[in-house]
Structure 1
């Protein structure tokens, strides 16, 4: 999976047909993104329309609820007044019938007639209240009916608008999807045409050419003797680590000019190097002067014994010809027809 991913972003990009395929796929993705944005806008419109209708419907429902409550309350009041009116009429009739049947005279007869008269007055008042409530209920009923009719008309129009919006939205959605399908088919057809030019061998060779690390596998790890490495190891600045010449090594490390890898010119002042009187193992620079030679002629300042096959043994005072100056501090020199490498800080310019 990782290899294929790497090829898709590196090796395959070197193949011309793949560039077109990738471009077509990107275009297709961009069109899908545009389609998703258009669909999001349509959804936002539908949501805004729904919220707007919700608020409008809530307002009319609140009006209808108030009118309905008034109508119900007045209806109950009218029914109570009706019951009271019927009860008062019944009492008045009974009182009048009692008054007519009885031939009581005096105070008792007067009381009966007075009670019948009061019952009739109560019945008349109940009738008036009942008629008033009926008139109010009719007025409320007409208001409720008109409000109900107008609210139903508004709701009907809202429903028509909702259906119309959904129909148009779905129609546009189908058009977008249909158009996207046509474009996708065109893109896929172009991709298929260019995929015909795909060459697996060429792609693999291209990938190998771009990602290879070499023509040969790494060398195997071999055993290295610790003691042999001690005798053959070299410092990065070009100095050799001598095992048999402890005295020469002591002299090299004790001289600050040699420790820093500085080249010594024999034409310099004698005070730069120790004289033979200070150290018997060094020769005076005046004794090492040789006839003028070319710029590649150097003189050996110290004795050096070859440690490996490609090194060259030199003695102090030997004149050598420098063939190559290595970056690692080891120089290739030639002396008396023999070539080899020696430490560069063992040589001085003539």
Structure 2
């Protein structure tokens, strides 16, 4: 049986999935109608002439809405029905037991198979909508809190400069209020950062659900076409046993059935109704300090921009490690084709695509914020191939939304060495951002708000053990050296392809692709 490859499919993205769903539903209705027709054919054998003519007309009408060699086969069946006038009643049992009944059962089974696929996609759509809503709420709150902080800072500056009637007690209160508001801003920035990454993760999950759903829908449609071809052959076999007076009609039908070309039919459907490859649509980071039209102290603006760059660069380092692990696994699959089945290899390829898209998302966000910092430092704007694909729009309240729309070929190429070579952030060292209120605080502000080692959204803590399948040498202090056969106690499983566990009394991270769960 010819297998319809997803790699060559034109049914991609939301439109592709919806179009496939329509095709599958239309195919199911067609199969259901054919099953009913065959049942009627069996019931009407005693009044063959009248009933057969009516059914011939119905099949011709059904086939007129479709095209291709398979459709031509059913049209030939209609012609053959019209030629038969003295069909034997014993065909009734054969038509019911071998065609109508199995086809009805198959249609019911197909409907049950289709429901969980549609439910999976609908769930991903709802989750994406919820994440986008959370993202907007936290963004709006972060902007509002930053705006309030600037107001308090301005009041404090006026008080310190002796403008207005402020006592030392008033100044102390203002300093306390600023410290408290700064803590609120840091918390809101963290919540927005996490919500933004959760939204991107939900978008990727939605994208992957669409991809998987389309592939599964294609399998269902291919199964339907093969089933219809099989039943058409069964029908042809039964009627071909009739008398020599119908031999010419049977020969014509047999010729059409033998010329059915499933590959050509599917190619025609893709050509006529294919939607083409999707374009990734990624919502980037937008911070208050990035907009030069919003009021903000110059030093605080720079510090805020540097803080965001630090958070992004930390995330990039983790994603790059995950990508390296997936690429190594794919190389193993390439060197040893029989090591894993097709599903495992497809899963690894999909994971590499997800990590690549995440790096694009982080790199574009870094570029945007780094550009703002470069302008403040009097430097030229960074030159990057993503620039022309970034669009920023503001809502009625002035809150921006920046979108990255990369053509699929560019998105799949992955990032560049831009962040590693960027010199616009020369003052952004590999350490957490420092609060400007450290001199005032009774208790030092914790770096845990935006720790470089914070857990990504979607990480699920669990316990268990795994066995090492390949040797791996640590490239950083927080990584474990693992060797073939080692048993590791697993603490957490992170979605970036790295797990945390304990080996020989040492706790660290290691690539999940190098182990198997016990």
TM-score, structure 1 length as denominator?
0.40
TM-score, structure 2 length as denominator?
0.28
